[in-house]
Amino acid sequence: MSVYTTLTLKEVQDFAAPYGLEVIDLIPIQGGIQNTNYFLVCEDQSQYVLTVFEEMDEHGAGEIVPVLEHLGQQGLAVPVPLKHSGQAIHFIKQKPAQIAPRLMGKHPMPASVAQVEAIAVAQAKMHVALQDFPLERAQYRNHQYWRQVSREIKPTLNAADTALLNELLGLYDAMTAVYPDRPKGFIHSDLFRDNTLFEGEQLKGILDFYELNKDELLFDIAITLNDFCTEYPDVHLDEEKALAFLTAYQTVRPLTEDEKACLELYLAMAAGRFWMMRLQVAQKNAAEGRTGDDILQKNPLEMRNMLIERLKFVNG
């Protein structure tokens, strides 16, 4: 993640000591946009990730811990946080924080067909595993949240972008009324390639579950399919990879007929969703004076261009 909270090695050593870790090196991670993360290197050369939660309180951060424990028990490659004194979440510089094992591997850039199939199967397994998971989050960044963000952003858009957003939301409202059988459950919501780790064709890690919320499973599919099957700055969808993704996903959880009917629209919706979210982050960073090499800000125009491209499928 971007580094918003600067820590010294001594501060981290003191924080990590109760976990039984002897930290000898601290490496800031530039990537992502919400929390602060550091790699920790220990005396025995084992490595961990320290996450400092910039916007979540102790309760919000702790909600994800049992989810990760459950997914780990189901055999999914997720970073299960360490505990001491019976808790995973503790405080550093008055902010909630945790330590989890570092999962090794590389982001698939670009993703091969086999890697696309692997993430699709893993995503379907997550959807099934969390279908009845007993969790009520304090805040859901679900579709209703995204619609509110779009209402807040809309006054700042030019006429062309306002028309584009209105077209997307109008299509969504019309089509989802016709095709209501779209199952909901807990979804990752941010399963981009930079939140996955691979060694060769093998999936080694799924990261950053802090956008986990209860929403339509089809949104999660669309978010991940868009990213794994696109090579930026070109925003065209690789249809071979997209077909491989959908075929692999359905070996675990078949899509409903209504999900199939809405898929092309949801690919556009997912692009629109992240267009708005990236604009929101850019505005927040500007308002709070967050600048510098340690602050990663993803380009909203990538998602705007993808939205325009995906709408071509919807409009025929």
Q: Sketch the domain layout of the chain as residue ranges.
A: 9-101, 113-314
Residue 162 pLDDT exceeds 70:
yes
pTM, entire model: 0.88
Angle value at C-alpha 100, between 99 and 101, nearest 5 degrees: 135
pLDDT at 144: 79
Q: What is the DSSP string of 78-137?
A: --PPP-BTTBS-EEETTEEEEEEEPPP-B--SSPPHHHHHHHHHHHHHHHHHTTT-----
Mean pLDDT over the full length of the chain = 90
Q: Give the domain 113-314 fold.
A: Aminoglycoside 3'-phosphotransferase; Chain: A, domain 2 (3.90.1200)
**Who has greater pLDDT, 3 or 311?**
311
CA neighbours within 13 Å on the CB side: how many for 17?
A: 8
- CATH number attached to the domain at 9-101: 3.30.200.20
Tell me the per-residue pLDDT of 95-109, one tens digit each, with 9 for 90 and over: 999 999 999 999 999
Quick one: residue 48, left, alpha or beta (phi over 0 = left, psi -120 to 50 = alpha)?
Answer: beta
- The pairing of strands 95-101 and 196-199 is unpaired
Tell me the per-residue pLDDT of 268-309, one tens digit each, with 9 for 90 and over: 999 999 999 888 877 776 666 655 554 455 788 999 999 999
Percent of the chain with pLDDT over 90: 72
Q: Read off the amino acid at residue 219.
A: F
Angstrom distance (rounded) from CA 65 to CA 126: 15
Stretch 28-54: mean pLDDT: 88
User: Residue 288 has which token pair?
Assistant: 């709070």
